[in-house]
Chain A
Amino acid sequence: MKRRTLFAAAICAAGLTLAPAAFAQDVIKIGASAPKTGPLGGGGAMTHWPNIELWVHEINEAGGLQVGDRQMTIELIEYDDQTNPEIAIQNIQRLATIDNVDFIVTPYSTGINIATAPMIAQHGYPHITTSAATDGVAEFAQRWPNSFWMLGTATQLAVGAVEAFSKLRDAGEIGDTVALLYVGDAFGQEHINAAKPLLLEAGFDIVYEASYPFGTQDVAPIIAAAKAAEPDSFMAFSYPGDTFALTEQAQIQGLEVGAFYTGVGTAFPSFRDRFGDAAEGIMGIGGVNLDDPKVADYFDRHEELTGSEPDYWASATTYAGLQVLAQAIEETGSLDRAAVIETIQNGTFDTVIGTIDFVDNVNPNVWTVGQWRDGKFVAVAADGIAVGAEPVVKPAW
């Protein structure tokens, strides 16, 4: 008798432990590995992590994703890659083979996305990148059919910059001469390769051209030399650190031009906060169309939950990439990764940056140039998508 009671108790206990296990299956495990420390820690903290937080929060708040006939909430497992490809690869391996996550969201930056791409492909996860703007995307998409590229190419961004300048010039607002600067690394090189021939073709006269090493602190001599060439417009393919430094020096030295364009970092809210009214009219990579109610709504939600304004370039794209993943899972109706990849390849998705319809795994519709107008970084050039406004000439500092 005693033994029988014990047996019954054991069965009950087994039943109890099984029950939560059955509930546990209604959770989708999502893995994330991106920098929290290291050189890109700041970028990750502004552009990458808040969007993941917002996305997970909103889905769980709404009760989860509808996967087939099940309602599944999201459990997020996150790791810091320290901006180090070695660690990033190790994190992906851990997510795939130890944590056994159902899906992995994109790592941050071109370099780490490429370093981890073979590993993500090997485990068969969809890989929707939202922070890699390079001309290699077509080649990567072909190499890893599970990978999708949403932020556009260096050529698209350069074309946009030249278009915006051409519009102002054709309207008689600025002259033909331009000073051209670029940071001496992969990013600057790709952009200058695309922009220079386009500028010459458009009839611009490059009166000053220079590159500077990545990490240059003192840009005063560069701005002085650019000013000496007396250009009508100024175009720099720069990184956040130098974007701020170049703008500051241009302001101090009084480099008056009708069109002033800098690279990554111009779209940061901190750029506007740093330069205040002087930021008015400055152009840079990125931009969003705040006239679109979906974009405006996204900005409000982002600020409300994370307490910070999103940046005006890759933030919305990062969020859109997550939206694509969620919609593809729901549309597929299962957690079968190969089927989800197929859905992403063939489907269309309604996101904060418009309708996404991948062409050979690349999203061709992107905002390319933004301009600071009354504290907002409005898209003034785009490829395949509506702009928020037409570019205007920059007022004096």
Chain B
Amino acid sequence: MNSLSQKEIIIGIGGVLAFALAACLPLVDQGYYLSLAVNITLYAALCTAWTLFSGPTHYVSLATAAFFGLGTYAVALWVDVLPFPLLVAFGALAAGALAGIVGAATLRLSGVYFVIFTLGLAELVRQIVTWAQATFTTRMGLYVFTDLREMHIFWMLLALTAVIFLTGWLINRSRLGFAMRIIGDDETVARHVGIDTAKSKIVLFIISGAFIGIAGAICAPRYGYIQPTSAFNPMTSFLVVIMALLGGTRKLWGPIVGVIPFVILMDFITVRFSNYMPVAMGLSFLAIVFLLPNGVTGRLEQAWNKFQSRKSAPSSTETAA
């Protein structure tokens, strides 16, 4: 086990402080700002979980809604008979299992097939759930009534985000993380140096999917009424990709940089220009792809490197002279 560098310790302490500070929010406001914070935290968790897999591999997954919906359904189906924490674990297992099956089937394929497949996956799962419910049960909408208030959901999502971060950091330090970076750079090279690329990708896809499933499970009590159409909403998948790309997926903390302004911006548009929501969404997607291909963090990194080289350039000419 490598020991921690001083820089890592400082970042770690800073991170813990930031999370502790965020956790105090419900003590200050239980109204609108808490609601906004729940949405931000939800997407922070989803985008970071998404980046765990899609960041290093560069495989764009549109399956977020499928995992999220499964987590939601795990809670909705058994909320009256089993304790909530157990159901959250169920959600993680179900989503992880789905990710495993899908991963095994598709991750041997290259990029674009994977994107198309994941896009269809949420729809496929939704239809299966609908069919199963219509065939085996007599009611379709499921009610999730619990005593959990908005602040509890906020704390759970915040804790989930912290765990995702920790997991991401541990993966980065592990052999798996190293393997992923090589795969991301050049999959053929990775295979030639003896990395089991398929297995590595599947493992990471499962981890990422399970976290998204947990997020769905946590959100089920917030919706109250679970239907296939709302649980497997394809919009979730697209929003996650947009926000993660806005932030940048090269760094673990990249997506958060995208999530916070994006959620606030969407909220602003909802209030001011509610009739132009879909247009605003499409334009922002285009703007991100064209103007910020590596996200905000990528742009920052670029600027930082430029700044560094400019600073070192004059000094090197001096020594030469």
Q: Give the B-binding residues of A (Cβ under 8 A).
A: 36-37, 39, 79-80, 82, 84-87, 89-91, 93-94, 96-98, 110-111, 114-115, 117-119, 122, 134, 136, 143, 184-190, 193, 211, 213-214
Using CB atoms, name the residue of chain A closest to B276: A37
Tell which of B39, B222, B275 touches A37, judged by Cβ atoms closer than 8 Å: B275
Tell which of A37, A84, A94, A189 touches B32, judged by Cβ atoms closer than 8 Å: A94
Which of B137-145, B251-259, B304-312 lines the interface with chain A? B137-145
Which of B9-17, B85-93, B228-236 lines the interface with chain A? B228-236
Which 10 A-B pairs give the minimum distances between C-beta atoms? A97-B31, A80-B274, A186-B141, A186-B140, A93-B35, A114-B225, A93-B32, A184-B134, A90-B35, A94-B32
**Across the interface, do A110 and B225 meet the contact criterion of CB distance under 8 Å?**
yes
Report chain A residues within 8 Å CB of B130: 184-185, 213-214
Asked if B271 is an interface residue, CB under 8 A from chain A, the answer is yes
**Across the interface, do B270 and A111 meet the contact criterion of CB distance under 8 Å?**
no
Asked if B267 is an interface residue, CB under 8 A from chain A, the answer is yes
- Using a CB-CB cutoff of 8 Å, which residues 118-146 of chain B contact chain A? 127, 130-131, 134, 138-141, 143, 145
**Across the interface, do B278 and A37 meet the contact criterion of CB distance under 8 Å?**
yes
* Contacts A/B (CB < 8 Å), 12 sampled: A79-B274, A82-B277, A85-B225, A87-B270, A91-B270, A94-B35, A97-B30, A98-B32, A115-B225, A184-B134, A186-B139, A189-B139
Report chain A residues within 8 Å CB of B116: none
Majority secondary structure, B binding face: helix
Majority secondary structure, A binding face: helix
Bound-state Cα–Cα, A143 to B143, Å: 12
Report chain B residues within 8 Å CB of A185: 130, 140-141, 227-229
**Across the interface, do A117 and B270 meet the contact criterion of CB distance under 8 Å?**
no
Bound-state Cα–Cα, A247 to B149, Å: 45
CB distance from B8 to the nearest CB of A (A): 35
Asked if B224 is an interface residue, CB under 8 A from chain A, the answer is yes
Report chain B residues within 8 Å CB of A111: 141, 225, 227, 230
Contact A213 to B127, CB < 8 A, known contacts A79-B274, A115-B223, A186-B139:
yes
**Across the interface, do B141 and A37 meet the contact criterion of CB distance under 8 Å?**
no
Report chain A residues within 8 Å CB of B23: none
CB distance from A215 to the nearest CB of B (A): 8
**Across the interface, do A184 and B140 meet the contact criterion of CB distance under 8 Å?**
yes
Bound-state Cα–Cα, A86 to B38, Å: 9
Number of contact residues on B: which range applies?
A: 35 or more
Asked if B288 is an interface residue, CB under 8 A from chain A, the answer is no
Q: Give the A-binding residues of B (Cβ under 8 A).
A: 29-32, 34-36, 39, 42, 127, 130-131, 134, 138-141, 143, 145, 149-150, 222-225, 227-230, 233, 235, 267, 270-271, 274-275, 277-278
Bound-state Cα–Cα, A311 to B141, Å: 26
Bound-state Cα–Cα, A85 to B230, Å: 8
**Across the interface, do A37 and B274 meet the contact criterion of CB distance under 8 Å?**
yes
Using CB atoms, name the residue of chain B closest to A92: B35
**Across the interface, do B39 and A86 meet the contact criterion of CB distance under 8 Å?**
yes
**Across the interface, do B131 and A90 meet the contact criterion of CB distance under 8 Å?**
no
Report chain B residues within 8 Å CB of A136: 143
**Across the interface, do B145 and A190 meet the contact criterion of CB distance under 8 Å?**
no
Bound-state Cα–Cα, A91 to B228, Å: 23
**Across the interface, do A84 and B233 meet the contact criterion of CB distance under 8 Å?**
yes
Tell which of B42, B134, B149, B277 touches A189, judged by Cβ atoms closer than 8 Å: B134
**Across the interface, do B141 and A110 meet the contact criterion of CB distance under 8 Å?**
yes
**Across the interface, do B143 and A114 meet the contact criterion of CB distance under 8 Å?**
yes
CB distance from B117 to the nearest CB of A (A): 21
Using CB atoms, name the residue of chain A closest to B267: A90
CB distance from A184 to the nearest CB of B (A): 4
Contact A85 to B31, CB < 8 A, known contacts A111-B141, A136-B143, A185-B228:
no
Using CB atoms, name the residue of chain A closest to B219: A86
Bound-state Cα–Cα, A96 to B33, Å: 11
Using CB atoms, name the residue of chain B closest to A39: B229
CB distance from A360 to the nearest CB of B (A): 18
**Across the interface, do A80 and B277 meet the contact criterion of CB distance under 8 Å?**
yes
CB distance from B183 to the nearest CB of A (A): 34
**Across the interface, do B223 and A85 meet the contact criterion of CB distance under 8 Å?**
yes
Report chain A residues within 8 Å CB of B227: 111, 185-186
Bound-state Cα–Cα, A119 to B131, Å: 32
Report chain B residues within 8 Å CB of A82: 270, 274, 277
**Across the interface, do B225 and A93 meet the contact criterion of CB distance under 8 Å?**
no
Known contacts A80-B274, A111-B227, A186-B227; 20 further A-B pairs (Cβ under 8 A) = A36-B275, A37-B274, A39-B229, A79-B274, A85-B230, A87-B270, A89-B150, A94-B32, A94-B271, A96-B31, A97-B30, A98-B31, A134-B141, A185-B130, A186-B140, A186-B141, A189-B134, A190-B140, A213-B127, A214-B229
CB distance from A276 to the nearest CB of B (A): 32
Bound-state Cα–Cα, A184 to B107, Å: 33
Bound-state Cα–Cα, A117 to B149, Å: 13
Report chain A residues within 8 Å CB of B134: 184, 189, 211
Bound-state Cα–Cα, A97 to B275, Å: 24
